[in-house]
Chain A
Amino acid sequence: MPNETLMVMKRLREYPEDSWTLDRYLATDGYNNARKAVADMSSADLIALVKDAGLRGKGGAGFPTGMKWSFVPQDIFPRYVVINHDEGEPGTFKDRELMEKDPHQLIEGIIIAAWAVGANKAFVYCRGEFALGARRLDAAVAEAYRAGYLGTGLFDTDFNLDIVVHRGAGAYICGEESALLDSLEGFRGQPRLKPPFPAIKGLYGQPTVINNTETISTLPHIVGNDAAWFKQWGTEKAPGTKVMSVSGHVNKPGNYEVEYGMSLGDLLQVAGGMIGSKPVKAVIPGGASAPLVTDLNVGMDFESLKEAGTMLGSGAVVFMDDSTCMVRNALLTAHFFEHESCGKCTPCREGTWWKVKVLERIEHGEGRQEDLQLLLDICNSMDGKCFCPLGDASSWAVRSNVKLFWEEFEQHVALGRCPFDDHDEMLVGAHTGRGSGFVGEQNAGVGEEGV
C-alpha cells in the first residue's frame, strides 16, 4: 500500500487543532532552523546546502532553487525575496493549505531564504481569494514580530527582516513571476520582457528572488537536517517530496505529500481510488496547462512526465472517469485560459478567444469536421509563439484533448450534440460560460472561519 511521506504537511496533519499558532510551532522545533541558518551559517553555506539538497521549485517550472539564488548579483542592494502565493492553477490547492495551517513554517522559510540572498525585505503575494490564509499569515507575522523572529536584530545578529503581506486581486497571470512583480508595484499584472530576469532586475528594478510557498516551506527541513537526509526521498533529479493536490473522480480528494517519482497509480490509491471503482479515462497530471496522460504507471516527477509528453507543473492531479466528456473538459480548460489571458500578446489574446468559440460550437452540436484540424492549427499558432507560458500552455491542454480523444470530438460533430447526456456535474461551469471553478465543490469557496 503506497503511503505519504510527510515533511511540510507533517505538523498540520499531526496537530489539526492548532497547527497555525506560534505556541504549537515553537513546541514542534519552531524557528530553531532559522536561528541555525542566521546565527551559524553564512549565506554561501546556505546556498551550497540548498544546491546540494537538489531542491527544485514547486511553483511549476521546477527550477533548482539554490541555482536561482546564486544568480543574484553580488554588489547590488537592496534585494528582495518575494513569495509566490498566487496559486491560481486550476486544481491546485496545496499552498492554500500550507498557509492556512502552517504559516510559521512559511515565515521561517522566508527568514532562511532572505538570509541566504541578503534581503531585508520580503513580500508575500497572496491570491486575493485566499482570505483565511491571508488572515492567518497576517496574524502569524504579527506574532513573529512580537516574539522577535521578524524586525531588527534577528537571533542576536545584526540581520533585519520585514515581511509585507500583499493580497492580489484574483488574476491567474499574476502568478507568473514577472507579472506578479508588476502587480506588486501597482501596475497592470502582465508579464515583463525577459531578460532581464528577476534575479538580476526584479521588484522596483532590484535583484529579486521569487519562490513558491511550498518551496520556501521546505527550507526549514533542509536546514534542520542535511542534503543527504533530504535526498533519501524522491528521484535523483528531483529529491524530496511534493504536495499533490488530487481531485476529480476519486474517493478522497485532497492534498497528499508524496515522494517525487511515485507512480500515478499509487497516487490514486493514496487518494482512495476512483469513485465506484470506475475506470480512469484520463488524468491531468500537473494543472490545467498539462497535457493529459492515460498511463497510470508514469512516475510523478519532472523527468518522467516530460518523457510522457506532459508535465508535473504545480502538482495538481485530476482523475477523470469514463463519464467525463472530453470536449467539455477541453472547453472548460479553454474557458479558463481565455478568462485569464492578460491580453498582452496576440496569439494568446486571440487564440484563447477563438478556441472557446470553436469548442463551444462542437459541444453544443454545431461543430464541423474541419473544426478539429482548425483547433490543432490554432494551437500551433500559439505554441511557442506567445509572450509567456500561459498562452503556450493553453494550447497544450486543448491539443492533447483533441488528439487523444479525436473520435469523441468527431462523435459530437456527427451526432450534432454532446453524447454525454446526463453525466454527473463534475465539470461545473462548462455551460455557464466563464466558469472558474474547475473541480466543483472540492476547491470552491473559501472558508471564512476565524483564525
Chain B
Amino acid sequence: MSDQAPARDDLVTVTINGTTVQTEKGRLLIDVAEEIGNFIPRFCYHPGMKSVAVCRMCLVNVEGMPKLQPACATPVADGMIANTVSDEAVEAQKGVLELLLINHPLDCPICDRAGECPLQDQTYKHGPGSSRYVEEKRHYEKALDISELVVLDRERCVLCWRCVRFSDEIAGDRFIQLVDRGDGTQILNFTDDPFDSYFSGNTIQICPVGALTSKPYRFVSRPWDLETAPSVCDYCSVGCPLTNETRAGNLVRRQALPNEQVNDFWICDKGRFGYHYVSSEDRLTTPLVRSGEDFEQTGWAQALAVVAGKLKGAANVGVIAGGHLTTEDSYAIGKLARKVIGTKDVDSRIQDAGAPYELAMSLTGVAGSNATIDDLKAASNVVWVGPDPKESLPVLYLHLHTGVRDRNTDLFIVSSSSTSLDIHAAQVTRVAPSAQPAAIEALGDKLEGPTVVCWSPGYAGRDESPTLRAAVALAQKVGGKLLVCPPHAGSQGALDMGLHPALEAGHAVVAEPGRGTRQILQAAADGELDVLLIFGADVVADFPDADLARKALGGKAFVVCVELFSTETALLSDVVFPSAASPEREGTFTNLERRLQKLEPLTKPPGTAREVWKTCAAIASALDEDWGWHGFGDVWTDIKGNVRTHADVDIDKLTQEAPLPHPFDEQGFEGEHPSPLRMSGPGGQYPKGHRSGAPFATGQNWPLSWELRAFEARQRPGYVFPAPEVTEAPAMTSPEAVSEGSFELLSGRLIYDEGAMVSRSAALRGLQPDPFIEINDSDAKRLGIADGDPVIVSGAGNEIAVKARVNGVAEGCVFVPYDQKDCRANRLMSGVDPCVEIRKADA
C-alpha cells in the first residue's frame, strides 16, 4: 500500500469507536478495527484462513443491526458505524469467556502455552474474575499422542476449529477432524491414522490454547524464559522466515514468521522441528588435521598454516560448496577460489550436479527465476516440471495446491514420477524424462493468461538440459515467467555468488567455463588435482555417484573440508574446519524467487567453530591476502562493490519489519514496561508481551501474547532482486554417455531423508518411511512384482534391497528416493542418466 493512494472506488469509510477511517471494501471489521488500535478479542479468527465465526468472542455492535455481529465475519461497508467496546459487546465477550472457561481444566501451571496463551490473556483482559460453575467439568483422556510430533489435550481445547481448518484449507490433508457433536464435540485424528501431516506443527502454533502442543518442546521452557530472533529456514529454497528461540542458550523452538509474499503464515515440520542438529553430538568444535589414520585437534592458526602450505604449491585446485551456505559464505568461497587461488573449477551443485540453471539466463538474465511467489499466486496457469514438491519444497506445495481451489489456477504437471499435486491438476503428463521436452512443448497451445512455468531439478544424476530448455521456451512462447527451484536454502545464493563453473558472482558469464562438480571429482579420482576444497558438502552421501566421490577423496589430492558435522566426507579429508550453523550467525539466504532475507544470530557456535566466510578470509590471509573483513558489514561492502546484481542492496533494510499498522507499542504495554530482555538481532523490535518478564497489563492497549498476531503485521519483506538484462546462456560441455540397465533411475528427495541436518534432528528421526522404491504397474506385472514385495535394485556394481511400491511412475522408470536409511541411491549411479536393474528378491 502506498502512502499517497490516489482516489479509489474500492474504498469505504467506516467509523469504529468514534474514529473514522478509509479502507478497502470487503476487509473484515476485526482487521480494520485492530489496525486503528481497537483489538477485538478472538479465538477462531485467523488471518490466514477463512472465517467461521464459531467462537463468538468477537461480537460487536454495528449500527442498524438488531443483534451483535461477529467482527471476524463482518466485511466493512461504506458508512458502517461499529462499536467494539459498547456495554453490550463487552458483556457478551465476558459471557462467552465465562462459557469457554466452565469446562476448561485451568491447568495453566503445567501447560506449555501458559504465558503466551490467548485464552489466558483474554481472560485477564476481558473475562470474569471467578467462575460460577460448580459442577464436574468435562473430561477426556489427557495428553493424547496423535503423532510423533503433536500431543492433543482435548480438555484444553476451545473448539475454535483453527487446526481442522488448517488441515482442510491449507495442508489439504484432513488428518484431524471434529468428531462427535454438541458438548461432546472434540478434535481427533481418525481411528488409527496418526496426524501424519508434513505441516502439523502449524496447528500447534495457531492453537489459541495449550490443546495442541509440541512433543519436542513439551515442558522444555516457559515463554518468558525464551529469547527469540528472527531467522530464515535453512532447509529448502522456499526460504520460510521463522524464529529461533532459546532457553538458557539452547535452541528449543522454532515458529513460523509470517510473510504473505513467501510462506503466508506457515512452515513445514522439517523447518519447525529440524533444529536439534544444531546441538548434535556430531558437531565439529575445533579444526582437525589428519595424522595417519586419525585426526589431531588443533588451533586455527596451525590448521590454516597447513592448508596455506598446500595451496601455495598447488597447480590444480577444485572447489565444491554445498547448498546450505549463506550469501556471504558463498561470496567468500568464490572470491577465495577465483581471486586468491585462481581456479575456475568451482561448483555448488552436488546432488543436483550438472543441473543446467544457466539455461534460464536466456529468459531471466540470471541462473534463476524471474517469477516470484506472488506471481505464482496470481497466475492463471502454473506448469510444474519436476518431482513432487510436497517432498522437496513443502510450503511451495501449499501455494500450488491451494491455488487450484482458492485462486482458480490451472495446474499442468510434467513429471516422470507421481506427485501430490496430481489430483489437483488440470493435466498430468507422466512420461520418461526423455519425453518431457515434447510434453512441455505441447502445452504451448493450452495456456492462456498469465503463466508461471516452474522447474525443479528433478532427478539426481540426470542431464536435464533438454527439459529446462523446453520449459524456458514454453515460458517464452506464452509470455510467461519462470520459477527456477534449486534445492536448498543456500543454493540460489551460491549461484548468485558465482559458485558455478560458467558464472562469476552477479551471473557474469565466464569466457571459458571451468570444471563442474562431476569433473572436479573425476579429476581428483584420476590424480589430476592437488587440492580439493569442500565447503559444507557431504559429497559421499550427496553426490550422485558415491564411488566416484570416495575415490576422489581417497586420491592424491589434499582435501580440506569445512563442515558442521563429522560427515563421511569430513572423515575422509585431510584438514577439517568447524563451521557455524544458521541460528548461530548473522547472514542472508536467497530463496527460489531470488528474495534476500536475513538471519539474526542467537546462539553461540560450539568451540571455535565460525562462519565460513571468516574461514575463507582466514585462508586468504594465510595466503597473504588481507580482505580487510572485520565484520559482517565489511563483507557486504565488498559484495556491493563487486557484485553487479547486489550493488543496490541496503542490508540494514533487511532487518526492518513492515511498519506496525497499529499503535500498541507507542501507547501501551511496552511503553509502560520497558523490557529488560531485548529480542536479539538488530531488528529486535518484536513485541515482547510476557516475554519481557513484565507483569500482566490489563489496560486498554493489551495485546500480550498476541505477539504472534503482531508478528503477522510485522513482516520482514526482504529484497527481491530485479533481473539484469537477458544474456545468452553459457555453453557447457555435454555430459558423458548413458550407463547400461533396463530401468531409468529417477532419484528425487523425500522430506525426511538421511540428509546431514535432518538425520541429526532428533524430533524427525522417527518420521522417515521404511526404504522403498516405486515402479510402474505394467513393469511390475512384467517382473511379477506386487505392491509391497521386496526387490533388489542393482546399478554401478552395487545393490540395495528395498520394498517396491507399485504406482504411477512413468513406464520403464524406477523412482528411488535419494537418501534413504541404509539405502543410498547414489551408490547405484555412475555417469550421467544412470540406469538400474530390478529383480524380485528371493523369498
Contacts and interface: CB of A to CB of B under 8 A. Distances in A.
- A, B: real partners: yes
Contacts of B67: 384
Interface of A: 171, 188, 193, 338-347, 349-354, 357-358, 361, 374, 377-378, 380-382, 384-387
B586 to A, nearest CB: 45
A171 B181 CA distance: 10
Contact of B51 (A193, A343, A350, A358): A193
Interface in B176-226: 178, 180-185
A179 B102 CA distance: 27
A385 B90 CA distance: 12
Contacts of B181: 171, 188, 341-343
B51 A346 contact: no
Contact of B132 (A338, A339, A340, A374): A374
Nearest to A353: B183
B96 interface: yes
Main secondary structure of the interface of A (DSSP, over half): helix
Given A341-B183, A345-B53, A349-B182, 18 more contacts: A171-B181, A338-B183, A341-B182, A342-B181, A342-B185, A344-B54, A344-B185, A346-B100, A346-B159, A347-B56, A349-B185, A350-B103, A351-B99, A361-B135, A378-B99, A381-B92, A381-B99, A382-B95
B720 interface: no
Interface string B22-59: 00000000000000000000000000000111111101
A347 B182 contact: no
A358 B132 CA distance: 11
Contact of B56 (A357, A361, A386): A386
B708 interface: no
Given A344-B54, A346-B55, A346-B158, A385 B183 contact: no
B193 to A, nearest CB: 18
- The CB with the most chain A CB atoms within 10 A, among B52, B91, B95, B182, is that of B182
A384 B182 CA distance: 18
Nearest to A373: B132
25 contacts: A171-B181, A188-B178, A193-B52, A338-B183, A339-B182, A341-B183, A342-B182, A343-B178, A343-B182, A345-B56, A346-B100, A347-B95, A349-B183, A350-B103, A352-B182, A353-B102, A353-B183, A354-B133, A358-B135, A374-B132, A377-B132, A381-B99, A382-B95, A384-B68, A387-B54
Interface residues of B, number: 33
Nearest to B94: A381
A392 to B, nearest CB: 9
A346 B132 contact: no
A351 to B, nearest CB: 6
- The CB with the most chain A CB atoms within 10 A, among B52, B68, B95, B159, is that of B95
A193 B51 CA distance: 9
A344 B54 CA distance: 6
Contacts of A349: 159, 182-183, 185
A380 B96 CA distance: 10
A377 B94 CA distance: 11
Nearest to A350: B99
A298 to B, nearest CB: 24
A352 B55 CA distance: 15
Nearest to B104: A350
B792 interface: no
A349 B99 CA distance: 9
A358 B133 CA distance: 9
A398 to B, nearest CB: 15
Contact of B182 (A338, A354, A374, A378): A338
- The CB with the most chain B CB atoms within 10 A, among A171, A352, A385, is that of A385
A354 B99 contact: yes
B80 interface: no
A357 B99 CA distance: 13
Contacts of A347: 56, 95-96, 99
Main secondary structure of the interface of B (DSSP, over half): loop
B159 A343 contact: yes
B774 interface: no
B170 interface: no
Nearest to B103: A350
- The CB with the most chain B CB atoms within 10 A, among A341, A347, A361, is that of A347
Contacts of A384: 67-68
A451 to B, nearest CB: 33
Contacts of B96: 346-347, 381, 385
- The CB with the most chain B CB atoms within 10 A, among A349, A357, A382, is that of A349
A363 to B, nearest CB: 14
B132 A381 contact: no
Contacts of A171: 181
A171 B182 CA distance: 11
B815 to A, nearest CB: 34
A345 B181 CA distance: 11
B73 interface: yes
**Closest 10 pairs (CB-CB, A-B):** A381-B95, A343-B185, A350-B99, A353-B183, A341-B182, A357-B135, A343-B182, A384-B67, A343-B181, A345-B54
- The CB with the most chain B CB atoms within 10 A, among A340, A354, A380, is that of A354
A344 to B, nearest CB: 5
Contacts of A353: 102-103, 138, 182-183
Nearest to A361: B135
B98 interface: yes
Nearest to B177: A188
Given A344-B54, A385-B59, A387-B53, A352 B158 contact: no
Nearest to B178: A188
A352 B178 CA distance: 19
Contact of A385 (B52, B95, B184): B95
A338 B91 CA distance: 23
Contacts of A350: 99-100, 102-103, 183
A345 B55 contact: yes
Contacts of A358: 135
A340 B181 CA distance: 8
Nearest to A381: B95
Nearest to A391: B56
- The CB with the most chain A CB atoms within 10 A, among B53, B54, B73, is that of B54
A380 B98 CA distance: 12
A347 B103 CA distance: 12
Contacts of B59: 385
Nearest to A378: B99
A346 B182 contact: no
Given A339-B182, A354-B99, A385 B133 contact: no
A194 to B, nearest CB: 9
Contacts of A354: 99, 102, 133, 135
A353 B425 CA distance: 46
Contacts of B138: 353
A275 B57 CA distance: 48
A193 B56 CA distance: 12
B99 A346 contact: yes
B405 to A, nearest CB: 13
A1 to B, nearest CB: 42
Contacts of A341: 181-183
A31 B54 CA distance: 45
Contacts of B178: 188, 343
B183 A352 contact: yes
Contacts of A338: 182-183
A380 B52 CA distance: 23
Nearest to A351: B99
Contacts of A374: 132
Nearest to B50: A193
A387 B183 contact: no
Nearest to A368: B134
A338 B103 CA distance: 15
Contacts of B180: 343
A195 B487 CA distance: 44
